[in-house]
Amino acid sequence: MPFGTIEWRKSLRLVGCLAVAANLSVFVCGATQAESLKEVTFASSDTALSIGSAPYSSLQPTLKLPEKYAGVTVKFQPTAGATAAVQAVSNGNAFYTLVALASFLPLARQDPNLVIVSFDPGNSLRVIVPPDSPVKGPLDLKGKVIGVGSFGTAAYPYGKAILKEAGLDPDKDVTFLPVGLGAPAADALKSGKIQAFAGFDSPNAVIGNLLGVKMRDVPSPLNDLVGMVGMVVTRSEIEKHPKVVAGLCRALYESFFFAEGNIEGTVRNHFKVYPGQLPSNKPLDEAVREGEVILRAKLDVVNHRGAGGIIGYQELPTVQHTVDKLYENGILPERMEISKYADQRFKNDCGGFDPAELRAQARAWKPQ
């Protein structure tokens, strides 16, 4: 679905409601709205819908999980990064996204219609260095150049936060340089153009794979923050389409745990759905093996039960601690109360399933 289609459909539904207003109640018009929603757009912060996005961008539609749980199909729209993904939801060009708090909260301050409905247990953001780098901690980054995919990625403010937490001035003591993802980032590290890279799970794994090494995380207490990523929608869509929101959240989280049960199959399926992601200079089996390493890096962070054993759920006091750390380290311009920007009514819809059962189903699945 091209951007702007959702707004067009909203206008069409409004015309339909006005046309029958003389005979039908507002409640009936609202019901007609809900019934007419057949396709929604997911704004992906993964600019290329790479292997790291495979659970939601290729496995989800292949298994028809959105249709099963939400009664809709999903169009996956890559964006320029997490900030752009949230903006797409804010302006109606997308129905939902999955992004880091570091990108969601600054925009939620400006648009009270934005809301987050789930919280992942881990933090996928990291600053990484080659294994032989002299950098052992954040203080060693003083005077260095740190690469980022773009200034629109959540990893950029996160990288600055790690430095501030360690006592450095991220605006004066280091230089941040946008170098892109994948091969450009790996080349920048290899050539010495940058000495570190601020990114997240699977793109970081891609860099290590291209360089033929296992990259090291720069240690920081912020690496252990909980609830750093979640599903973002608008309050207005929740009120109009609560069952769709609930179903999409369930489909999203099921896709990650299903993928964990059959990583190879998920990677092969991704190359079939997005053939442009298959490297032209490598045999399929070699590309699949490398893809498995990249995808596993993401799943190792994402696939854990949350509070009370519920997937995608964290208690708000726990997330508030994370938000406070983001404020203390410069990501947020003021302290924010997460309770004002979260709606957890869908917690059991999102994560009330048995991961072991999904993994077992996945092991028996073979992509067509």
pLDDT in tens, 128-187: 999 999 999 999 999 999 999 999 888 999 999 999 999 999 999 999 999 999 899 999
Look at the domain 37-121+225-362 and name its fold.
D-Maltodextrin-Binding Protein; domain 2 (3.40.190)
Statement: residue 24 has pLDDT above 50 = no
Angle between helix axes 284-302 and 201-211 (nearest 10 degrees) is 140
Tokens of 99: 């992004």
| Amino acid (1-letter code) at residue 207 | I
Q: How far apart are CA 166 and CA 28, in angstroms?
A: 57
Q: Report the candidate in 192, 226, 194 with the shortest Cα–Cα distance to residue 320.
A: 226
- Confidence band, pLDDT 50/70/90 cuts, at residue 202: confident
**Upper half-sphere CA count for residue 140 (Cβ side, 13 Å):** 14
Sheet of 196-200: strands edge to edge?
175-178, 145-148, 196-200, 125-129, 216-217
| Measured CA angle at 274 (ends 41, 207), to 5 deg | 100
- 3.40.50.300, 1.10.10.10, 3.40.190.10, 3.30.428.10: CATH of 123-221: 3.40.190.10
Q: How far apart are CA 241 and CA 305, in angstroms?
A: 26
Q: Report the candidate in 13, 2, 19, 15 with the shortest Cα–Cα distance to residue 35.
A: 13
Q: What is the pLDDT of residues 25-72, one digit of tens each?
A: 333 344 444 457 899 999 999 988 999 999 999 999 999 999 999 999
3-state helix, strand, coil in the chain (%, to 5): 55, 15, 35
Pinpoint the residues of the chain covered by CATH 3.40.190.10.
37-121+225-362, 123-221
Q: What is the pLDDT of residues 73-105, one digit of tens each?
A: 999 999 998 999 999 999 999 999 999 999 999
Q: What is the pLDDT of residues 280-314, one digit of tens each?
A: 888 999 999 999 999 998 898 888 999 999 999 99
Q: How far apart are CA 300 and CA 143, in angstroms?
A: 32
- Tokens 């992906």 sit on residue: 44
Question: How is 290-355 classified by DSSP, letter by letter?
Answer: HHHHHHHHHHHHH-S--GGG-TT---HHHHHHHHHHHHHTTSSSS---GGGTB--TTHHHHH-S-H
Q: How many CB atoms lie within 10 A of CB 287?
A: 19
Question: How is 70-136 classified by DSSP, letter by letter?
Answer: HS-EEEEEE-SSHHHHHHHHHTTS-SEEEEEHHHHHHHHHH-TTEEE----SS--EEEEE-TT-S--
**pTM here?**
0.84
**Are the beta carbons of 95 and 242 closer than 8 angstroms?**
no
pLDDT of residue 272: 97
Q: How many CB atoms lie within 10 A of CB 34?
A: 14
